[in-house]
Structure 1
């Protein structure tokens, strides 16, 4: 009987477990400032290890005057390591596919898709946060302040656990 129980466990599909960690990066010459990292494994065994943020194609003074070309970008590991990790949520395959759909929606927006006041990295992160079922303040004054925005999201969602380290 123990062999049969073990065989059933081995034959069972593995539940997906992809962790999504939301980050901010203090202002500087590098973008995006708000982004998320996905790590884990899907039910089909596929390993997930990537990140997404939204930024201007060319960071120039033009972003101060209106819309410019935008792009979804995968921040480099060194950039992620120097950023503020705020909170992590675990999602299943369905939410993962929805999140990738959101990334594709932003990736394929008609250009000029980046606007500092109306469609920036924080707006991108806020849509991901909402898609995953968490609250954010749509009237926030922090659209241009990624770190403050993430801290505000934490305050609005008591179930989220603030990550340690440099996210204060």
Structure 2
């Protein structure tokens, strides 16, 4: 929460033309957007290209953003669009390697259960991994994710339900 408030403070300074604040703002959001782009795209090079395009668009559009509170959903929406732009430029490819591991919740060595959860998440479709990342790791609400991904809240709730069921199946749990 404190980091979001600080980010919004830096955003206001950047919107006023402070170039140091703009650079700091881009540094603050870079890692999270990089992880998000990695969840949407299976190729690290494509994800980095999409991220660069997103950061350029974010920097260019800062002055048009009216509400600092909308900043976080706005940057994820832009990144999502740039990832989709990258996908449109590629031929269709059904081969997919694994994605990078999800971020750890702390600096300690992950437990076996956490490693199992990460492995199970990596078995999900890329779009489902992105949804899991936004909902569970970034803490966005379903309404915010609907705004980011331009999907209805009902669709996202249904997708989350099916993801949970698939995860239960992967762990052999019975509901």
- Bigger RCO (CA 8 Å, 6+ sep): 1
Which protein has the bigger strand share? Answer: 1
Which protein has the bigger helix share? Answer: 2
The reply to whether TM is greater than 0.5 is no
**Structure of higher CA gyration radius:** 1
Give TM-score, length-normalised by structure 1: 0.34
